[in-house]
């Protein structure tokens, strides 16, 4: 590939019984039409299945097999060409009907993208939704992309962060059952989460001195210890240790009153303690346009803010706004990472080790 041409982003098309292929195709075409030549996309998916999906959507589109040795750039007159890295289905896919037979296929999409990043064919990955339940029903333990990618890249801790509606909300825990949350939030784990969050906001989002607002875990942030001790025992000491290191980290704030402009206007991110504390607020503010970002990985990975929407599959009505936003975000993160790497090389200042 011409050294001036950016590496493509890998786009995994997700659960084939859901809306993944539909939103991937719609968003890819929108991206290629709006930004020809900017960053090419390669869709990971079953070639014939993607053709059939496009036909069902009545899209004016051509397909081409991805060839790492003959890379392809979208010029103004080739925006309707979709490149596909063919990953065969394990069984025929029917819209709206989940099948355990295709669980390995879904994971192969992710592995193909990861291998392509490792061999420097792709600059990062954008993922369409998978169905966690059907993968487990197939006998494969799986809690989410976040944990799967951490495991595959041998990353000990990652941070889930969603962005949308003018907010970024990161989580101190990911897909953890509610009754295990308190034990999962320890001084070392929360310290690591904040380290990752501050590092990636700086390096991947170009925010020089991020301001992070931290929620409490309990109602009213524990009400001075009368409604729980995690704020006093864990959260406050961690916040204070970051303040002593010169970081703009504040809290703990009661989660029910934190999400208002008075607090959020000057914040770069909120760190919430668990999935359903932070994400409903963000999804209410931006569902359909939000982006899910995995921080702390050695690769760039973004995703949609929604799930497989089995109820909408095959109906050609799914909103691809979140997938488009995820592509844009991955593109911006690749760009910011390159810029920061160049600055650090020139000044010989290494990025903070996380």
Ligand X SMILES: NCC(=O)COP(=O)(O)O
Ligand Y SMILES: NC(=O)C1=CN([C@@H]2O[C@H](COP(=O)(O)OP(=O)(O)OC[C@H]3O[C@@H](n4cnc5c(N)ncnc54)[C@H](O)[C@@H]3O)[C@@H](O)[C@H]2O)C=CC1
Q: What residues form the annotated binding site for a divalent metal cation?
A: 175, 220, 275
Residue placing its CB nearer to ligand Y in the complex, 203 or 312:
312
Residue placing its CB nearer to ligand Y in the complex, 143 or 236:
143
Number of residues that bind ligand Y (CB under 6 A): 19
Q: Which of 302, 303, 328, 337 binds ligand Y (CB under 6 A)?
A: 303
Q: Of the ranges 39-47, 268-276, 306-314, 338-346, which one interacts with ligand Y (CB under 6 A)?
A: 306-314
Binding-site entries for substrate: 145-146, 283, 292, 301
For residue 95, the partner it binds in ligand Y, ligand X, none, with Cβ less than 5 to 8 A by kind, is none
**Residue 312 within binding range of ligand Y, rule CB under 6 A:** yes
Q: Of the ranges 50-58, 73-81, 154-162, 305-313, which one interacts with ligand Y (CB under 6 A)?
A: 305-313
Helix (H, G, I), strand (E, B), or coil: what is residue 260? coil
Residue placing its CB nearer to ligand Y in the complex, 13 or 32:
13
Residue 174 CB, shortest distance to ligand X, in Å, is 7
Q: Which of 145, 168, 275, 301 binds ligand Y (CB under 6 A)?
A: 145
Cα of 302 vs its chain's centroid, Å: 3
90 φ, ψ (degrees, to nearest 5): -90, -20
**Residue 311 within binding range of ligand Y, rule CB under 6 A:** yes
Helix (H, G, I), strand (E, B), or coil: what is residue 303? strand
Counting other chains too, the contacts that 207-212 makes at CB distance below 8 Å and 24 or more residues apart are 207/268, 209/247, 209/248, 210/247, 210/248, 210/268, 210/269, 211/248, 211/249, 211/250, 211/266, 211/267, 211/268, 211/269, 212/170, 212/247, 212/248, 212/249, 212/250, 212/267, 212/268, 212/269, 212/270, 212/271
Residues 6+ apart with CB under 8 A from 353: none
For residue 308, the partner it binds in ligand Y, ligand X, none, with Cβ less than 5 to 8 A by kind, is ligand Y
- Which parts of this chain interact with ligand Y (CB under 6 A)? 19, 23, 129-133, 145, 292, 303-304, 306-309, 311-312, 318-319
């Amino acid at each position: 590939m011409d050294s001036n041409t950016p590496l493509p982003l890998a786009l995994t098309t997700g659960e084939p019984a859901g809306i993944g292929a539909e939103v991937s195709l719609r968003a890819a075409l929108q991206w290629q039409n709006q930004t020809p030549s900017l960053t090419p996309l390669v869709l990971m998916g079953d070639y014939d299945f993607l053709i059939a999906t496009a036909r069902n959507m009545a899209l004016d589109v051509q397909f081409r097999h991805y060839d790492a040795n003959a890379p392809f750039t979208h010029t103004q007159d080739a925006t309707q060409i979709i490149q596909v890295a063919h990953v065969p289905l394990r069984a025929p896919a029917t819209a709206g009907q989940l099948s355990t037979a295709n669980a390995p296929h879904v994971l192969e999409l992710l592995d193909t993208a990861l291998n392509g990043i490792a061999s420097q064919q792709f600059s990062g990955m954008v993922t369409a939704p998978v169905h966690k339940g059907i993968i487990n029903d197939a006998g494969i333990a799986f809690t989410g992309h976040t944990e799967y990618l951490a495991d595959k890249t041998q990353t000990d801790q990652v941070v889930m962060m969603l962005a949308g509606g003018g907010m970024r909300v990161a989580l101190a825990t990911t897909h953890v059952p509610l009754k295990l949350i308190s034990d999962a939030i320890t001084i070392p784990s929360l310290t690591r989460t904040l380290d990752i969050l501050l590092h990636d906001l700086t390096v991947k989002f170009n925010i020089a001195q991020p301001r992070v607002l931290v929620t409490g875990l309990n109602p009213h942030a524990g009400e001075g210890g009368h409604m729980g001790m995690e704020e006093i025992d864990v959260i406050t000491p961690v916040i204070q240790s970051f303040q002593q290191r010169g970081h703009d980290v504040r809290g703990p704030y009661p989660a029910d009153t934190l999400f208002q402009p008075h607090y959020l206007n000057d914040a770069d991110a909120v760190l919430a303690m668990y999935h359903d504390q932070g994400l409903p607020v963000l999804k209410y503010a931006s569902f359909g346009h939000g982006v899910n970002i995995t921080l702390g990985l050695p690769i760039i990975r973004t995703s949609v803010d929604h799930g497989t929407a089995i109820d909408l599959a095959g109906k050609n009505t799914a909103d691809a706004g979140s997938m488009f936003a995820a592509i844009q975000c991955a593109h911006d993160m690749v760009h910011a990472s390159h810029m920061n790497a160049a600055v650090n090389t020139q000044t010989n200042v290494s990025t903070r080790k996380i």
